[in-house]
Amino acid sequence: MSDSADDDTPMLGMDLPETAPQASSGPYRVLARKYRPQTFAELIGQDAMVKTLGNAIARDRLAHAFLMTGVRGVGKTSTARLIAKALNCIGPDGQGGPTIDPCGVCEPCRAITEGRHIDVIEMDAASNTGVDDVREIIEAVRYAAVSARYKIYIIDEVHMLSRNAFNALLKTLEEPPAHVKFLFATTEVNKVPVTVLSRCQRFDLRRITPDMLFAHFSSILQKEGVEAEAPAIWLIASAAEGSVRDGLSILDQAIAHADLDGGGKISAEQVRAMLGLSDRSAIAQLMTTILEGEAGGAIDLARAQYALGIEPIAMVRGLMELTHAVTLAKVSRHDDPALAAADRERIAEWAQKMGFAPLNRLWQLLLKGHDEVLRANNPLEHLEMLLLRVIYAASMPDPGELAKLLESGGVRTAAPGAPAASTAPDQAAVDATSGAPEGSASEPPSLTAAQLHHLLETAGHHRLAGLVYDHLNIIALDPGVLAYAPAPALGDGFARDISEALFAATGSRWQVRTDEGEGRPSLGQMRAAKLADNEARIRELPVVKAALAAFPDAKLEASPDNRHRTGS
């Protein structure tokens, strides 16, 4: 399929239908021209549009202007030519009317196919953009068709017309004579003025799916008498990106490539080499070294691929495709027919081992690096730096995980068997909650520092609880006795206030006094010391060291939700 005339004949050039290879008597014709659809049945992937046109023709409800839009190579210009034949077909006996199945043998059908029909005018708007070009159309539409039922104007890439040209065409486009039909084709419908769009019946041609392209290319290869591996056809269908014409151009090249290599069979390896795609096995090896943190191995593999002619950007795209495949495999949505069984097993294994968070970080790093490598003056150097960045940053815990590690002390940097970090004081307070004393009139309860803090909090003495947590250095804490080291932050009335609070909470009298000595660290001081120790151990982790080296101004902080709030 094609969007524009690519014939060797003048502007109106069209192609005769062919279903079998030609003899070598004439010049070779590329597959995109040779297999241009000549009937609506051969137009693949546009069933909705064909049904709409068929119903409109059957009910004699034909619009005076049609606009075909879509990506390159999906059949916009081919559709316009088919509509021209459908409207002007008279049947083999010369008595037929408009039909969705033009016969292809009557004089109008043959003349339109051969590009010699005087009433079907095809214009390339890219080279005829001005008002003068449109004025010729405006003057000519007044005259009836010479020999056809309708005079048809096919304007390809209509968005290229100038604003003045569009304005000049508006009146004629809105109220054309009954014998005139306008057929527009464009790849950039957003550039067509709304005033023009509102006067046309619009058809959005769909991007052709890889399944349809695979079947179409397989059929053409059979007609051409060329053998091809199924993965090779899938690769071509994928590289076509929904465009039949692009795919046929690649297929043409693949056939020539296979012939030159001998044997005449198209293999997946040949297609990959021809398209400059990175080798799947090499990309899988590169991904393995990244996940295992082998920086030197990753650099060596990248340089080896570069020496073989693989562009650095192709390697980045290969890593991105593999990351995407693994992520889809985690949700059971990965289905690539071009993959070998070994590749499927490898992707399934990675999907089982890796979580969504590491995969997302890996994707984001590769996505950012893709643009850097693409714009780089020396792509290989940028690729190597990107690989090092991915290796040292992809497996690093995210900020939330780091905050939890800081809070819980769950990071182990010592050798296996080393003692674990001590329990956090605030965690001890939580554990002691269930054992908090209810108080007794006859005997004061036995309390720990954490239980004392918790008791004051639950009794509503938040200010006292905050002072106990932050500044109370206990020398002795026995049933009914609390001795502590003096501290200016506690204030003069602290002993009296806490004694009254304990009496109200426990029903027992407490002796609260200051003693000589430094006392034990307060709960807040113990927690701060533990966090400092945890931070020191976390800073020794290789991934954190690498992150801090790359970002010297970065800091490790506990999340706000996990910080202990005092005095509240």
- Please check whether residue 38 is in contact with residue 17, taking contact to mean a CB–CB distance below 8 angstroms: yes
Tracing tokens 């058809």 back to the chain, one arrives at 203
Domain chopping of the chain, boundaries: 31-204, 210-275, 280-393, 422-568
- φ, ψ (nearest 5 deg) of residue 479: -55, 115
pTM equals 0.56
CA distance 20 to 259: 19
Do the domains spanning 31-204 and 210-275 agree at the CATH topology level? no
Residue 375: half-sphere exposure toward Cβ, Cα within 13 Å: 4
- CATH code assigned to 210-275: 1.10.8.60
Dihedral of alpha carbons 486, 487, 493, 495, sign: negative
Question: Would you state the structure tokens that stand for residue 201, as one six-digit string?
Answer: 């019946």
- Please give the pLDDT value at position 437: 42
- Predicted confidence pLDDT, tens digits, the chain (568 residues): 444 444 443 333 444 444 444 444 567 888 888 888 888 888 888 888 888 888 888 888 888 899 999 888 888 888 888 899 999 998 888 888 888 888 888 988 988 888 888 989 888 888 877 888 888 888 888 888 888 889 999 998 899 998 888 888 888 888 888 889 999 999 888 999 999 999 898 998 888 888 888 899 999 998 888 888 888 888 888 888 888 888 899 898 888 877 655 567 888 878 877 876 666 778 888 888 888 888 888 899 999 888 877 889 989 998 998 888 888 888 876 666 656 666 778 888 888 888 888 888 888 889 999 989 988 899 999 999 999 988 877 555 555 555 555 555 544 433 333 333 333 333 333 333 333 344 344 477 778 888 888 888 888 888 888 888 888 888 888 888 888 888 888 888 888 888 888 888 877 888 888 888 778 888 888 888 888 877 777 777 777 777 777 777 777 666 554 444 433 3
Q: Which residues contact 16 (CB under 8 A, 6 or more apart)?
A: 38, 113, 114
Are residues 404 and 357 in contact, defined by beta-carbon separation less than 8 angstroms? no
CATH architecture entry for 280-393: Up-down Bundle (1.20)
CA angle 532–534–537, rounded 5-degree value = 110
Euclidean distance between CA atoms 380 and 128, whole angstroms: 44
Neighbours of 340 (CB within 10 A): 12
List the CATH code of the domain at 31-204: 3.40.50.300
Name the architecture of domain 422-568.
Answer: 2-Layer Sandwich (3.30)
> In this predicted structure, what is the pLDDT of residue 407?
56
What does the alpha-carbon distance between residue 458 and residue 240 come to, in Å, rounded to a whole number? 69
Q: Is the separation of the CB atoms in 75 and 209 below 8 Å? A: no
Q: What is d(CA 163, CA 134) in angstroms, rounded to the nearest whole number?
A: 11
Cα(115)–Cα(12) distance, rounded to whole angstroms? 5
347, 322 contact by CB (below 8 A): yes
DSSP 281: H
Predicted local confidence at residue 422, as pLDDT:
36
Confidence at residue 433, expressed as pLDDT on a 0 to 100 scale: 35
Gap between the terminal Cα atoms of the chain: 73
DSSP string, 254-280: HHHHHHHHSSSEE-HHHHHHHHTPPPH
Report residue 111 as tokens.
């003349």
- Residues written for the chain: 568
